[in-house]
Structure 1
């Protein structure tokens, strides 16, 4: 089981040449008493599938970017997670999807928001990155770009699930907040160090249940929910997006490490403490050029996993 890393130091996953990979599936008020053993097993199996997909890419000599994309595609297709299929509903009853990806080699990045028909938003975000003319596309324009690139689309009903629809109905009927019905911040993400020493990060989400007015969280915002720089680290975040945007969480962690020389765990914990002070909850995953894989979260749990070329392979849900 992974040792939680909100305030505890975490051992390096290995400093020998090789690869390191980490994933998350959202953070929040996970409670062992509210999840059956079968539910816990199902989530761990889903995390393991994504972890294995990225690890296989890296073990075969593939790039960090390819590994991040491979893992997130699996999580987007799994209705247990709030990204792609299984995304939460907006107030108007639609599934609007956001994603971002960044390559630490040249800090090229691609991001999309308000996507409604593209099966895998992370693939679309990477297509934006590869195209290179823009970094961030939204709504109809992003959909048009996806069509130009021939990306796979699905009808609205493919993304919808009954559980997410019931959450929206309950939120409206009982005048609840998104966290009252979701109990966690449903974002998925991955970070990787490949055997060539390059870093990458990616994040994908359906946002918050009942979100209105075209709300955008931190996940697709480069520097807030997603960031990668070969010089220092790659970060993917999950949490109360408004606070993560205000702090610039992903970039702030890397900046503290690069400029102030802070250790990865210390920088991550300090920035998450700053988020907490402002009133926000959530967590981050990050990897470093030295092969550390670090988790830091100020919630009761975070769906997470990590693996490396030295044989480490583990997934966990709760803090303990």
Structure 2
């Protein structure tokens, strides 16, 4: 009996179950979520046409990942498929349409992480790679390093088959005007960037593997090689099959200080471990000290609200320090969730259970 109980506990640890109404523990499932930035995004400041355009862009990115997962593809492929679409869309602060640095150039940051192996790749300060998220994937595949920057990242890109473009290809008039207004009126980047347009995606595939990716142009007028949270593994991007996958968007300095992405995953894993321990301790013993029954994995789960509470608590720490932004989180336990402490966040989620939604403004709008 002791051996059987130990094996069951080991199985529970390896494959957390999802508690959902009508959930079959033996049925494979997938979930997917994206974001296109959080910030001062209010309905009264957006025309019906602009809203429709953003919703269409989010829908296209969501469908790109959804189609891959529905057909049994990998979480990693779903994440990169969605992000590359958003990197090409000038409505978002990533790839084409990214913000300008103080010197009038465009520099990209991106990161990608595999929850199965915890392999990761990240790049910062790139200027000619059309899809920075794919360069992050090449860094991860290469395996020798995790994080490459600037000229070194560009040199590494030379050894790949990734598409390259002139830096001016990424430029848009709207972003250039933001930089000019910032300099002319001595404004801060937050005054001209009413939203953090970073893009990201998180996924759970039918094999139970998680992945997370994030891509951004940073903040308008950034100087001195400033790096935000997006490419920092553990701050803006993190994935671990034992707990969750997270992609963040917001005021990067604060997300780095809190270590937002890994903090959420660590708290979730500790919550799960505590649930396992409580279940173990609750089993009565017979006269010989053996457990009287076995607790099966299908009897244990974390509710979506448990995950929401953890994400909200970590975002509250960011807010207490003076920062704001949002995260998307998916896990083996249930559907993806959003958490943000800004007026709005461009976001979408879809699951194999039939949930599919796109949002822009605050909760309930």
Q: Report the TM-score range of the alignment, normalised by the length of the smaller protein.
A: over 0.9
Give the TM-score taking structure 1 as reference length: 0.95
Alpha-carbon distance in 1 for matches of 2:202, 2:21: 14
What's the CA shift for 1:18?
A: 1.2
**Are positions 1:242 and 2:253 aligned together?**
yes
2:210–2:239 contact (8 Å) kept in structure 1: yes
> Relative to 1, partners in 2 of residues 1:237 and 1:73: Cα closer, same or farther, differing over 3 Å?
same
Alpha-carbon distance in 2 for matches of 1:159, 1:13: 46
Alpha-carbon distance in 2 for matches of 1:106, 1:150: 25
1:193–1:200 contact (8 Å) kept in structure 2: yes
Q: Which residue of 2 aligns with 1:277?
A: 320
> Relative to 1, partners in 2 of residues 1:284 and 1:154: Cα closer, same or farther, differing over 3 Å?
same
1:87–1:206 contact (8 Å) kept in structure 2: yes
Q: Which residue of 2 aligns with 1:135?
A: 146
Greater RCO structure (CA 8 Å; 6+ sep): 1
Alpha-carbon distance in 2 for matches of 1:12, 1:72: 29
- The runs of 5 or more residues in structure 2 that have no matched partner are 1-18, 273-301
Q: Which residue of 2 aligns with 1:315?
A: 358
1:12–1:293 contact (8 Å) kept in structure 2: no
- Equivalent residue in structure 2 for 1:189, among 178, 181, 200: 200
What's the CA shift for 1:260?
A: 3.5
For 1:127-181, what per-residue CA distance to the aligned partner results, in whole angstroms no more than 9, with x for missing partners?
0001100000000111111110121101112100000000000000001111211
What's the CA shift for 1:259?
A: 1.6
The 5-angstrom pairing of residues 10-21 of structure 1 reads 15-16=23-24, 17-21=28-32
2:66–2:78 contact (8 Å) kept in structure 1: yes
What's the CA shift for 1:264?
A: 1.0
Q: Which residue of 2 aligns with 1:214?
A: 225
Indicate the RMSD between aligned Cα atoms, in angstroms.
Answer: 1.4
- Equivalent residue in structure 2 for 1:75, among 83, 86, 91: 86
Q: Which moved more, 1:194-203 or 1:252-261?
A: 252-261
For 1:80-131, what per-residue CA distance to the aligned partner results, in whole angstroms no more than 9, with x for missing partners?
0000000000000010000000000000000000000000000000000011
**Are positions 1:166 and 2:166 aligned together?**
no
> Relative to 1, partners in 2 of residues 1:279 and 1:53: Cα closer, same or farther, differing over 3 Å?
same
**Are positions 1:114 and 2:120 aligned together?**
no
2:250–2:326 contact (8 Å) kept in structure 1: yes
For 1:231-281, what per-residue CA distance to the aligned partner results, in whole angstroms no more than 9, with x for missing partners?
000000000000000000000001111124482111100000000000000
- Count of matched residue pairs: 310
Q: Which residue of 2 aligns with 1:4?
A: none
- SS class of match (1:41): helix
Q: Bigger radius of gyration, 1 or 2? A: 2
The 5-angstrom pairing of residues 81-160 of structure 1 reads 81-160=92-171
- The runs of 5 or more residues in structure 1 that have no matched partner are 1-10
Q: Which residue of 1 aligns with 2:287?
A: none
**Are positions 1:35 and 2:35 aligned together?**
no
2:98–2:171 contact (8 Å) kept in structure 1: yes
Alpha-carbon distance in 1 for matches of 2:118, 2:211: 9
**Are positions 1:290 and 2:333 aligned together?**
yes
Give the TM-score taking structure 2 as reference length: 0.83
Alpha-carbon distance in 1 for matches of 2:318, 2:103: 29
- SS class of match (1:142): helix
What's the CA shift for 1:13?
A: 10
**Are positions 1:179 and 2:222 aligned together?**
no
What's the CA shift for 1:291?
A: 2.9
